[in-house]
């Protein structure tokens, strides 16, 4: 029987879960990539067509079904016994994790978790993967980048891993990790990849500076926010550029409609601010420092406001 994996399809944490699934099950796993707010639709589409009859196990990683859909699944004993969810987004703790088949762990033993690290631990525990130094290295780099801890410990290789993914795209990144890196003796970048990474960094930084220049300051619930429309790949780095330059407009967080996604990304600039609360207000969720909500929930008046 085959396996089915639903995973986040827009970052290296979701990609990492796909690589692990390929390592564990090879061609006997089907992978569905979901954006921030279309997981329910993709899950229901397959459920409605076949009832997951061709799969003996269904996994959801770095993502979670909505509470409404979880309640529906939980009433179907033949379906829920197949499903396991591994998520790390703190806004879902105390909600979806009430279901026995849902595991949501944001932090463990003083360490922030990622979808890749949780799924890796599960696969090793079940004997589906054999742990190794190269796998541990790659999983840790993925975790460091996804939780943004690479900044705190100054692990540039974690950032380079993400830059490689941005440079070559999802499918090529997964292919390289699965065929060229994780299965080889050591995990490292080859000469060509080092060149790709360095060139991308230069072009990337130029665009970040352009976005900072376009920011408008708006007020949301008494907090000052920087508003700018962006492409998805730039969402994690604009705040760092603002802080580096002194945050002269005293922005607490960034609110960024993503042109190539159906989402609005939120990122903190003031580390004391919690953007997950803003996201929840508009039907989304995430972490204290990074969250998102559907583009359809974006208040129209924010788009039309002049810069303060």
What are 108-143's pLDDT values in tens digits? Answer: 988 999 999 999 999 999 999 999 888 999 999 999
pLDDT at residue 306 greater than cutoff 50 = no
Question: Picking from 49-53, 65-69, 269-273, 301-305, which range would have the lowest pLDDT averaged per residue?
Answer: 301-305
Q: 116 vs 27, 62, 102, 155, 174, CA distance in Å?
A: 19, 7, 16, 18, 13
Instruction: Give me the percent of the chain exceeding a pLDDT of 90.
Output: 76
Q: Which fold has domain 2-189?
A: inorganic pyrophosphatase (n-terminal core) (3.90.1640)
The first and second tokens of residue 135, run together, are: 């796998």
Separation CA 90–CA 15 (nearest Å): 20
Give residue-wise pLDDT tens across range 20-30: 999 999 999 99
pLDDT mean across residues, the chain? 91
Look up residue 125 and give its two tokens: 């525990």
Separation between Cα atoms, residue 45 and residue 137, nearest integer Å = 36
Q: List, for residues 161-187, the tens digit of each pLDDT value.
A: 999 999 999 999 999 888 876 656 667
Other Cβ atoms closer than 10 A to 52:
19
**CATH code reported for the domain at 209-304:** 3.10.310
Residue 93 is predicted with a pLDDT of 84
Phi-psi region at 52: left, alpha or beta (left = phi > 0; alpha = psi -120 to 50) = left
CA–CA separation, 249 vs 68, rounded Å?
Answer: 40
Residue 86: other Cβ atoms inside 10 A: 26
Is pTM beyond 0.85 here? Answer: no
Burial of residue 168 (CB within 10 Å: 0-12, 13-18, 19+) is middle
Whether 199 shows a pLDDT value over 70: the answer reads yes
Q: How far is CA 203 from CA 148, 163, 199, 234, in A?
A: 21, 11, 7, 12
Spatial contact of 257 and 264, defined as CB atoms under 8 Å apart: yes
Residue pair 138/5 in contact (Cβ under 8 Å)? The answer is: no
How confident is the model over 225-249, as a mean pLDDT?
92
Is pLDDT at 43 greater than 60 in this prediction?
Answer: yes
Q: What is the pLDDT of residue 95?
A: 86
**Domain map of the chain by residue range?**
2-189, 209-304
At residue 90 the predicted structure's pLDDT band, cuts being 50, 70 and 90, is confident
Res 186: pLDDT = 66
């Amino acid at each position: 029987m085959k396996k089915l994996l639903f995973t986040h399809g827009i970052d290296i944490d979701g990609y990492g879960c796909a690589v692990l699934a390929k390592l564990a099950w090879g061609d006997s796993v089907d992978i569905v990539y979901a954006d921030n707010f279309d997981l329910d639709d993709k899950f229901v589409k397959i459920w409605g067509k076949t009832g997951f009859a061709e799969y003996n196990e269904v996994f959801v990683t770095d993502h979670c079904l909505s509470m409404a859909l979880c309640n529906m699944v939980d009433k179907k004993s033949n379906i829920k016994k197949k499903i396991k969810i591994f998520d790390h987004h703190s806004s879902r703790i105390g909600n979806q994790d009430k279901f026995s088949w849902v595991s949501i762990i944001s932090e463990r033993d003083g360490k922030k978790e990622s979808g890749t690290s949780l799924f890796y631990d599960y696969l090793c525990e079940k004997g589906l993967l054999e742990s190794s130094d190269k796998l541990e290295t790659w999983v840790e780099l993925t975790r460091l980048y996804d939780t943004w801890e690479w900044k705190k410990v100054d692990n540039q290789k974690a950032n380079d891993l993400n830059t490689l993914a941005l440079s070559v795209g999802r499918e090529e990144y997964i292919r390289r990790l699965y065929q060229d890196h994780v299965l080889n003796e050591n995990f490292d970048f080859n000469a060509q990849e080092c060149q790709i990474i360095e060139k991308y960094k230069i072009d990337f930084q130029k665009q970040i500076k352009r976005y900072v220049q376009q920011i408008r300051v708006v007020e949301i619930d008494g907090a000052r926010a920087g508003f700018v429309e962006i492409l998805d790949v730039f969402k994690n780095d604009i705040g760092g550029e603002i802080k580096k330059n002194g945050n002269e407009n005293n922005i607490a967080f960034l609110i960024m409609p993503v042109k190539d996604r159906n989402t609005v990304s939120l990122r903190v600039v003031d580390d004391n601010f919690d953007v997950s609360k803003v996201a929840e207000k508009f039907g989304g969720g995430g972490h204290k420092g990074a969250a998102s909500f559907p583009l359809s929930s974006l208040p129209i008046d924010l788009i039309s406001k002049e810069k303060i």
